Amino acid sequence: MADVKTRAEESVKNVIESLGYELVEVTYKKEYGTPTLTFFIDVDREGGIDLNDCEKVSRAIDPVLDEADVTDGVAYNLNVSSPGLDRPLKKDRDFKKNLNGKIEIGFYAPYKGNKKINGILLAWDDNTVTIKQGKTEEIIDRKIISIIKPLF
């Protein structure tokens, strides 16, 4: 049987997309002692997600989640949120939005003596990320990268 996050995503993804939003991520974890199911949504428009968007999506997915019983009867809090401007780059869409922009890369272990480096995103694929630092281009294996996020 699929986990709560997967079942929740499968249950509401089409509803969220039909409203004109992108489902970026789903988390399910205890917050202040209560299981919390959080949906991070985004939209391709100036200004991004606002409170009205979150309320609209919450109202639309709440009955769908109740019907699907994704937590197998466990009570939970439902949150709908924006992923924020500095959300990690995970999907191709995220990388495309930040192409030629400044990014910060964090590593699982020090890379060339650093836990984090900054650079300009030049390219990416499933296995590597290419950045420019000054006049130097560097191709970095994604297996050693813990997080990539935009810099503002």
Question: Do both 55 and 116 map to the same domain?
Answer: no
C-alpha R_g of the chain: 18
- Number of structural domains found in the chain: 2
User: Among 34, 4, 32, 10, which Cα is nearest to 23's?
Assistant: 10
Indicate whether 75 belongs to any domain. yes
Residues 73 and 106 in one domain: no
The reported pLDDT for the residue numbered 3 is 92
CATH code at position 104: 2.30.30.100
CATH number at residue 53: 3.30.300.70
Query: Is residue 120 one of the residues assigned to a domain?
Result: yes
Q: How far is CA 74 from CA 4, 36, 62, 63, in A?
A: 11, 10, 14, 15
Q: Are residues 64 and 13 in the same domain?
A: yes
Which residues 6+ apart lie within 8 Å of 47 measured at CB? none
Do 42 and 76 lie in a common domain?
Answer: yes
- 15 and 52 within one domain: yes
Q: The tokens of 123 are what?
A: 């390219």
Q: What is the pLDDT of residue 45?
A: 81
Q: Is residue 87 part of a domain?
A: no
Strand partners, 78: 37
Domain region containing 120:
92-150
Task: Report if residue 86 sits inside a domain.
Answer: no
pLDDT of residue 41: 94
> Cα separation of 151 and 16, whole Å?
28
pLDDT reported for residue 79: 96
The predicted pLDDT at position 1 comes to 47
Q: How does pLDDT run along the chain (152 residues), one tens digit per residue?
A: 469 999 999 999 999 999 999 998 899 999 999 999 999 999 888 778 899 999 999 999 999 999 999 999 999 999 999 988 777 888 888 898 899 999 999 999 999 999 999 999 999 999 999 999 999 999 999 999 999 999 87
Q: Tell me what pLDDT residue 101 has.
A: 94
Report yes or no on 50 lying in a domain. yes
Q: Does the residue 102 lie in any domain?
A: yes
- Residue 88 confidence (pLDDT): 86
Half-sphere exposure of 132 (CA within 13 A, CB side): 10
